[in-house]
Each structure stands twice: as structure tokens, then as C-alpha cells.
């Protein structure tokens, strides 16, 4: 894989020499046999099969591997806001399983109705009509279709480098080369602009780059004149980048001016991760359609949703998301329990308090280890940028850091090739958080 492919990758690369060396040192014969068997039966793909290791348990902040090692999981595919196997979520799932394990079409169920109401209650602004789906990508697809029906237009404006899921429609509005290259013709009318994270590269280093990017977006919406929606991650997840205040309100105003809807993809950032229920609250911007997923299923069930303005309920005779598991009672029970846990255990505040503590420790590390070029984050989602982006050296160092940490019992994801992303459960104890940061610091020292 070339360095540019690596830097574009959603996560760490699964065919690297560093990974093979790690496996040689730490994977025993029995685990290797299972990994071989995995590769024998699964189609291989980037960021997945062949896999690194075999998990046998996931509890709280830890995963346990086949060799009995307990690993602090700061990766978790961003699903574990309430940790793994939270007793309330497990109990809700078990109870639902015993009564209504599935809800066939034509029927609704009280768990689904309760969940839709609760999502409308927690969503910002006047977002109040819900559709459920079994994956974030599927929910993105529903949002795109709704925007087409509601506006009578088909074009979208999105950001290069963005990730919105792996389905073809999501890849079309996404901007990562890894997912687009070689995939053949994508959706027509999917226009892209540079991502906010790279605004300074294209729009000047004088601190006004984001204003110019917002102006550029306004210009594109104006000259096209027929864009159905701007779709974006309000916080670029893979590289932990939140645009400065003022950016999203300007984009919001442009959308309003030019008749485009604003769709925010909060699949990973929803439900408290950043210290507020949704990260768009911190950007003072309410979209027309909010997409959520991942942690909605309590780290157990595949669950995603869109929450839209009530007046976008305009497709009673069409099909936005005709999914078999649309109103899954078990998924909805998991989501309801998750919302309860977030409220009852004060997880928004926990994310803010623990996040501030972690950020302070990371900033102190940045002063002592010049390999760190920037530390940033919101709530309990933090990024440590290693070296300079898009350099082979930075990516190689970040990868070495990853495998050292894995050796010492800490897992995290590398975003954009060189950004250490730290995504612990919001239920994590301060002691566990400090243990993880100690591991990271020791690895940094060894680099
Ligand atoms: N949008 C964002 C920002 C994501 O990070 C992801 C998944 O990583 C998705 C959409 C797609 O979600 P799913 O994998 O559930 O289809």
C-alpha cells in the first residue's frame, strides 16, 4: 500500500510489515490457526480480514483475547459509549428477546415507538421524525433519498476525505480514496469541496481559511443552483477535527439561501461522546436531517437512525429505507436502555470531565515529546497527531506507537495514517483512563 493510500485509510493498515512483526512476537499457534481459518472463509478486504487477533470477551472498557490478555479498548469502532456489556443494556435486550424477538412488517412495537419519541426529545432544534436502519451507511442512504424527494433535486455537496459508510451511495458522497478508487461509476451529481481540516492548505494560513471555505461552499451552491443537500460530518471523525466556531452556521445560512438541506452525519459522534448529546450542539448548528448510529445500539445491537424536521415527512408513498430489521424490538430496547444509562450515569458530564483531564495530560506529553505535532479533541474523543500529515515517516512512527501500545494492553485506531484517536467508553474510570495514558506515554518515550 502506498503512503497516500495509508494516509487516506479509515483505520490502521492490515497488511503492514509492522503488523506481521507484532503477530510473530505475540500471537501463539492456536490464535494463528483461528486467524488462518478466518482468512480461509472470509473475503479479504482492507482494514478487516486478515485480522490481527482473536477476541473472546468484551466487558466494560476491555476486550480479552484468546490468549487471555486484557486490552483497554480505546478503538471500539466508536460503538461503546456505555462500555461493553453494560448490565442495563444486556438486561433490556434479554427481556425483549423473551417477549418480542422480532417485529414483522405491518406491525409496530412499543419499544420502537418509545425510541422514536426519545430520539425526537434528545435531538436538537425541531428534529422530530425518525426512521431506523440497521447500519450507519443505510441511514446515510435514507437521508440522501429523503433529500432528493423533499427538494426534487439529486445533487449533493460533500467533503473530500469524509467518510459516510461503505455502501456505494455513501462512498459517492464520501471522499476517501481507499473506498472510491476502483469501485467504478459512483452516484452522479456528488460534488465535493476540500475538507475543513485542510482549509488552510487551500484557503490561506492567515486564520481566515474556514471563512473562505464557507464562502466557496456558498459559491458552489449558488452556481449549481440545484443542490439537494450538503452532507458532512460536523466533526471529522477519522482525524478528530472540529472546524472553528462560525463555520457551520455560515454553511447552514448558505444552505437556507440556496434551498439545499443540511445533513449532519453523527454516526460516531452521537450520544454524548463529545460531552454533548450531539457534537453539532457545540457548533451551534441544527441540520435538517441528523444521522446517528454506532453507539445507539449500546455497543451490542446494529442500530442507526435519521431524525428529520417534521415538514420533511413528504414521502408516504415512496420507500426511504425498506429494511427487514427496520423496527427491531431488540435493537430498540438496547437503544432505549443506552439512553437511560447516559442520563442516569451522567455520561455527558463524565465525557467532559474525563476528557478535559485526558486533554491536559496529552498536552503535557506534547510539550515533552516533539514527535507530537498537535493534540485536540472534544469530550472523550481525542486525537494525537504524530509528525506531519501525509509523510511516510509520520505514518510509520504512528504505526510503531500503535503496536507498542497493543503490546502493553491498549488498543486505539490510527486515523488518516498518523493520528492516534482515543475513543474510550464514557463509563471508563479515571484509573483506567490514566492507565491507558501511561501506556501511551511509555510508548511515546520509547519512540
Ligand atoms: N458515517 C461515519 C462518520 C462513520 O464513521 C461510519 C462508520 O464508521 C459510518 C457513517 C457508517 O456506519 P456503518 O459502519 O454502521 O455503516
The closest residue, in CA terms, to atom 12 on ligand 1 is: 136
Kindly give the number of the ligand 1 atom that is closest to the alpha carbon of 266: 3
The domain ranges of the chain are: 3-82+346-446, 87-344
The number of the ligand 1 atom at minimal distance from the alpha carbon of 233 is 3
Q: What pLDDT band is residue 1 in, cutting at 50, 70 and 90?
A: very low
pLDDT digits (tens, 9 = 90+) for 381-421: 999 999 987 777 999 999 999 999 999 999 999 999 999 99
Residue to mutate, 144, 164, 166, 295, ligand 1, most ligand atoms under 8 Å from C-beta: 164
Give the C-alpha separation, 116 to 129, whole Å: 8
Helix ranges restricted to H, 42-86: none
Q: Of 405, 438, 307, nearest to 75 (Cα)?
A: 405
Average pLDDT over residues 133-140: 98
The domain made up of 3-82+346-446 has a fold known as 3.90.1150
Distance, in Å, from the CA atom of 228 to the CA atom of 243, rounded to the nearest integer, reads: 23
pLDDT surpassing 70 at residue 185: yes
Residue 135 Cα to chain centre, angstroms: 12
Q: Is the dihedral of CA 173, 174, 176, 179 positive or negative?
A: negative
Higher confidence at residue 392 or residue 177? 177
C-alpha 207: how far from its chain's center? 27
Higher pLDDT pick, 12 / 437: 437
Directed axis angle between helix 247-258 and helix 209-224, to 10°? 10
Cβ(240)–Cβ(377) below 8 Å? yes
Q: Is 80 in the pocket of ligand 1 (CB under 6 A)?
A: no
Task: State how far the Cα of 375 lies from the Cα of 421, in Å rounded to an integer.
Answer: 10
- Where b means 16+ CB within 10 Å and e means fewer, 140-157 reads bbbbbbbbbebbebbbbb
Question: What is the strand order of the sheet 155-159 is part of?
Answer: 127-133, 304-309, 289-292, 261-266, 227-232, 155-159, 190-193
Give 232's strand partners.
264
Residues 57 and 182: their CA atoms lie apart, in Å, by 36
Residues 287, 280: contact at Cβ < 8 Å? yes
- Does the pTM surpass 0.85? The reply is yes
Q: Is 268 in the pocket of ligand 1 (CB under 6 A)?
A: yes
Looking at ligand 1, which atom is closest to the CA of residue 238?
5
Q: Is-contact 225 193, C-beta < 8 A?
A: no
In 125-273, which residue ranges form alpha helices assigned H by DSSP?
A: 136-151, 168-173, 177-180, 199-203, 209-224, 247-258
Beta bridge partners of 64: 57, 70
For 259-312, what is each residue's pLDDT tens digit? Answer: 999 999 999 999 999 999 999 999 999 999 999 999 999 999 999 999 999 999
pLDDT, residue 14, reads: 77
Any atom of ligand 1 within 6 Å of the Cβ of 135: yes
**Of 3-7, 47-51, 128-132, where does mean pLDDT reach its minimum?**
3-7
Output the nine-digit C-alpha cell for 239.
482525524
Q: Is the CB of 266 under 6 A from ligand 1?
A: no
Question: What is the CATH T-level fold of the domain 87-344, as seen in this structure?
Answer: 3.40.640
**Cβ–Cβ < 8 Å for 199, 209:** yes
User: How distant is the alpha carbon of residue 210 from its chain centre?
Assistant: 22
CB 303, CB 161: distance < 8 Å: no
Amino acid at each position: 500500500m502506498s503512503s497516500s493510500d495509508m494516509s487516506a485509510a479509515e483505520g490502521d493498515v492490515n497488511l503492514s510489515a509492522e503488523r506481521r512483526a507484532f503477530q510473530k512476537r505475540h500471537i501463539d499457534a492456536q490464535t494463528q490457526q483461528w486467524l488462518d481459518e478466518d482468512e480461509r472463509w472470509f473475503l479479504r478486504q482492507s482494514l478487516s480480514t486478515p485480522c490481527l487477533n482473536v477476541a473472546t470477551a468484551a466487558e466494560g472498557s476491555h476486550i480479552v483475547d484468546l490468549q487471555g490478555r486484557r486490552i483497554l479498548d480505546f478503538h471500539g469502532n466508536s460503538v461503546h459509549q456505555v462500555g461493553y456489556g453494560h448490565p442495563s443494556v444486556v438486561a433490556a435486550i434479554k427481556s425483549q428477546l423473551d417477549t418480542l424477538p422480532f417485529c414483522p412488517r405491518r406491525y409496530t412495537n412499543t419499544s420502537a415507538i418509545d425510541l422514536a419519541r426519545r430520539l425526537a426529545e434528545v435531538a436538537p432544534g425541531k428534529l422530530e421524525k425518525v426512521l431506523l436502519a440497521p447500519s450507519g451507511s443505510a441511514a446515510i442512504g435514507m437521508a440522501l433519498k429523503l433529500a432528493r424527494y423533499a427538494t426534487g433535486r439529486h445533487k449533493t455537496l460533500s467533503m473530500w476525505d469524509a467518510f459516510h459508510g461503505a455502501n456505494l451511495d455513501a462512498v459517492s458522497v464520501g471522499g476517501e480514496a481507499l473506498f472510491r478508487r476502483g469501485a467504478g461509476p459512483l452516484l452522479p451529481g456528488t460534488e465535493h469541496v476540500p475538507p475543513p481540516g485542510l482549509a488552510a492548505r487551500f484557503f490561506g494560513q492567515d486564520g481566515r481559511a474556514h471563512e473562505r471555505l464557507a464562502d466557496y461552499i456558498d459559491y458552489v451552491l449558488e452556481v449549481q443552483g440545484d443542490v439537494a443537500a450538503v452532507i458532512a460530518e460536523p466533526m471529522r471523525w477519522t482525524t478528530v477535527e472540529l472546524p472553528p466556531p462560525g463555520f457551520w452556521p455560515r454553511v447552514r445560512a448558505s444552505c437556507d439561501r440556496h434551498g439545499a438541506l443540511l445533513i449532519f452525519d453523527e454516526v460516531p459522534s452521537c450520544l454524548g461522546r463529545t460531552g454533548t448529546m450531539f457534537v453539532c450542539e457545540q457548533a451551534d448548528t441544527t441540520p435538517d436531517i441528523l444521522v446517528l448510529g454506532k453507539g445507539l445500539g449500546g455497543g451490542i445491537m446494529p442500530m442507526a437512525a435519521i431524525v428529520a424536521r417534521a415538514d420533511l415527512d413528504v414521502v408516504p408513498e415512496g420507500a426511504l429505507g425498506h429494511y427487514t430489521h427496520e423496527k427491531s424490538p431488540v435493537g430498540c430496547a438496547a437503544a432505549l436502555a443506552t439512553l437511560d444509562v447516559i442520563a442516569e450515569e451522567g455520561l455527558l458530564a463524565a465525557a467532559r470531565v474525563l476528557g478535559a483531564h485526558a486533554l491536559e495530560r496529552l498536552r503535557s506529553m506534547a510539550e515533552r515529546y516533539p514527535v507530537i505535532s498537535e493534540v485536540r479533541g472534544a469530550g472523550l474523543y481525542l486525537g494525537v497527531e504524530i509528525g506531519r500529515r501525509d509523510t511516510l515517516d509520520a505514518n510509520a512512527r504512528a504505526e510503531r506507537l500503535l503496536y507498542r501500545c497493543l503490546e502493553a494492553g491498549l488498543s486505539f485506531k490510527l486515523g488518516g495514517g498518523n493520528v492516534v484517536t482515543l475513543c474510550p467508553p464514557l463509563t471508563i474510570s479515571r484509573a483506567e483512563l490514566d492507565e491507558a495514558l501511561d501506556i501511551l506515554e511509555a510508548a511515546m518515550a520509547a519512540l
